[in-house]
Amino acid sequence: MTRGYSLIELVVVLAVLAIAVAVVGPAVGRTVDEVRVRGEVAAFAAFLRAAREQAITRQLAYEVVLDQEPRALRLRRAGSEDGVGQPRRILSAGLRIAAAAPRVTFWPHGMSSGGRFAIDAPGPRRYVVTVDALTGRVATHPGGS
């Protein structure tokens, strides 16, 4: 008596594996996209937090300006129109960012002018990044909240 697998058993196992890959594959792709978008939103918020830290540390007012044309966030001293040499963050082309005011000012004592940025990612994903005017605290919320 020889031991081994029949052709039918091998075909059934391969069919089950093919079905599993077909079901799991798209879900993994969506998860990777979601992680990338969440990383972009976290970097956006981190840039705002760093601006607040810099204002407090250096005891100078700084503002973060959202430039839609070059798709970038720029950090500059408040009141200065020259952003040359200042840090900036290039935004992903897949994100659409809407803001009532395209700039947020952070003052040396920790307060800010406040702000709300709605970030739309491809698909139905939306994130909101808020800057509290009283505390300067930056928070990120999924959805339209």
Burial 64-84 (b: 16+ CB within 10 A, else e): bbbeeeeeebbbbeeeeeebe
Q: Dig out the tokens for 68 from the structure.
A: 């839609």
Q: Dig out the tokens for 104 from the structure.
A: 């947020």
Sorting pLDDT into bands at 50, 70 and 90, what band is 34? confident
Is residue 123 scored above 80 in pLDDT?
Answer: no
- In this prediction the pTM is 0.76
Most distant CA atoms of the chain, gap in Å: 89
Is residue 112 scored above 80 in pLDDT?
Answer: yes
Burial 103-122 (b: 16+ CB within 10 A, else e): bbbbbeeebbbbbebebebe
CATH number of 7-142: 3.55.40.10
Sorting pLDDT into bands at 50, 70 and 90, what band is 85? low
DSSP 6: -
Cβ atoms within 10 A of the Cβ of 24, count? 10
